[in-house]
Chains A and B, each alone.
Chain A
Amino acid sequence: KAGVTQTPRYLIKTRGQQVTLSCSPISGHRSVSWYQQTPGQGLQFLFEYFSETQRNKGNFPGRFSGRQFSNSRSEMNVSTLELGDSALYLCASRQNQETQYFGPGTRLLVL
């Protein structure tokens, strides 16, 4: 089975722009979670989707949003980018209540 894939792998944006990141879960996995990782804050939970519904949300401002499609693929969007949004964004998928598997991440640099 192919693992979790994320696109793009690297991205450079400027302040004020918006960005959309994509995640394709492992085949058969219906749950997708997103995390932000920065050197200062570590790995922080953003949100989790299951069957196109957001089921849990971390403590991030409304500029961070996401969605999930009927094929379980997920996107997250960050609007009005700030310098502090520079981070590694990780997606993880799982089947029902089972183990989460992570993708390689998208490294976003905001200039």
Chain B
Amino acid sequence: DAKTTQPPSMDCAEGRAANLPCNHSTISGNEYVYWYRQIHSQGPQYIIHGLKNNETNEMASLIITEDRKSSTLILPHATLRDTAVYYCIVRGTGGFKTIFGAGTRLFVKA
């Protein structure tokens, strides 16, 4: 499974969009980009995933660059409850050995 690089921390004002970047320059053609978040001491929560097209669900949007070497998770209107560690993971359909990096600690401030 490819490795990912994320900034260690980011701040965002409540009500504003939070844009969390992720680099995955060694991604293979059959590997998906997944995003999870973990609120203190809870299990990681699935947010969204995509292969090459941009994706949107009720929680967030995922923008994947055309060369697929990077992506951005967008929380359109961040709230205090979005404060968490966000993990970007790259995994193929047969890749059961999911490798988590250190993630980005997002602080949403009032």
How far, in whole Å, are A102 and B102 apart by their CA atoms in the complex? 17
Q: B102 contacts which chain A residues (CB < 8 A)? A: 42
- What 0/1 pattern do residues 19 to 60 of A give for CB contact below 8 A with B? 000000000000101010000001111001010000110100
Within 8-61 of B, Cβ neighbours of A (below 8 Å) are at: 34, 36, 41-46, 49
Residues A90 and B96 in contact, CB atoms below 8 Å apart: no
Tell which of B43, B49, B97 touches A102, judged by Cβ atoms closer than 8 Å. Answer: B43
Check B98 for interface membership: any CB of A closer than 8 A: yes
Chain B, Cβ-Cβ closest to A6: B43
Q: Closest CB-CB distance, A109 to chain B, in whole Å?
A: 13
Check B76 for interface membership: any CB of A closer than 8 A: no
Within 76-111 of A, Cβ neighbours of B (below 8 Å) are at: 88, 90, 92, 97, 99-105, 107
How far, in whole Å, are A19 and B46 apart by their CA atoms in the complex? 28
How far, in whole Å, are A102 and B42 apart by their CA atoms in the complex? 9
Check B101 for interface membership: any CB of A closer than 8 A: yes
Given A43-B44, A99-B49, A105-B42, verify A56-B96 contact (CB < 8 Å): yes
Q: Closest CB-CB distance, A21 to chain B, in whole Å?
A: 13
Q: A97 contacts which chain B residues (CB < 8 A)? A: 93-94
Within 58-97 of B, Cβ neighbours of A (below 8 Å) are at: 87, 93-94, 96-97
Residues B94 and A45 in contact, CB atoms below 8 Å apart: no
Q: B43 contacts which chain A residues (CB < 8 A)? A: 4, 90, 92, 102-105
How far, in whole Å, are A101 and B47 apart by their CA atoms in the complex? 10
Most buried by B among A4, A48, A97: A97
> What residues of chain B have their CB less than 8 Å away from a CB belonging to chain A?
34, 36, 41-46, 49, 87, 93-94, 96-103
